[in-house]
């Protein structure tokens, strides 16, 4: 099911989001285990999570432009087609926000563990 959503949302936007989600999770785990240089780890996770959020919104904007171009060229469309197109444009944003939130949780954990 998750792979279907990634394919629906467009591999160009969804694959980097998934890759960055895995990277953020690994950086958080590495920061928890290593426990030194957490400031650099926090900064890196913060930058990556913000990037992935903006990347998701960029995917939505490009998807909406494509959807509106298709609507304009077809003329009259059904609400089913419109709803399906809008659903697809929201997938990168939802995955991007989810990844952003995971990154923020990682930052909170690393901040709490930082004893300096």
Share of the chain above pLDDT 90, in %: 57
Contact in structure between 25 and 98 (CB atoms under 8 Å): no
The per-residue pLDDT for range 53-72, each reduced to its tens digit, is: 999 999 999 988 988 888 88
| Residue 105 CB partners (closer than 8 Å, separation 6+) | 28
Does position 116 have pLDDT exceeding 70, yes or no?
A: no
Residue 76 φ then ψ, to 5°: -85, 125
Instruction: Count how many Cα atoms sit within 13 Å of the Cα of residue 81 in the half-sphere of its side chain.
Output: 10
H or E, element range at 33: helix 11-34
Residue spans per domain, the chain: 2-113
Q: What pLDDT is recorded for position 45?
A: 96
The per-residue pLDDT for range 63-102, each reduced to its tens digit, is: 889 888 888 888 888 888 888 888 888 999 999 999 999 9
């Amino acid at each position: 099911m998750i792979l279907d959503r990634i394919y629906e949302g467009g591999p160009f936007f969804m694959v980097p989001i998934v890759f960055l989600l895995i990277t953020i999770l690994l950086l958080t785990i590495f920061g928890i285990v290593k426990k030194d240089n957490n400031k650099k780890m926090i900064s890196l996770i913060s930058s990556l999570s913000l990037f992935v959020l903006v990347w998701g919104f960029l995917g939505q904007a490009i998807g909406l432009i494509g959807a509106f171009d298709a609507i304009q060229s077809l003329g009259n469309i059904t609400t089913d087609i419109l709803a399906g197109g809008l659903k697809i444009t929201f997938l990168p944003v939802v995955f991007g926000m989810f990844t952003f939130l995971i990154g923020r949780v990682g930052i909170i954990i690393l901040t709490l563990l930082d004893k300096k």
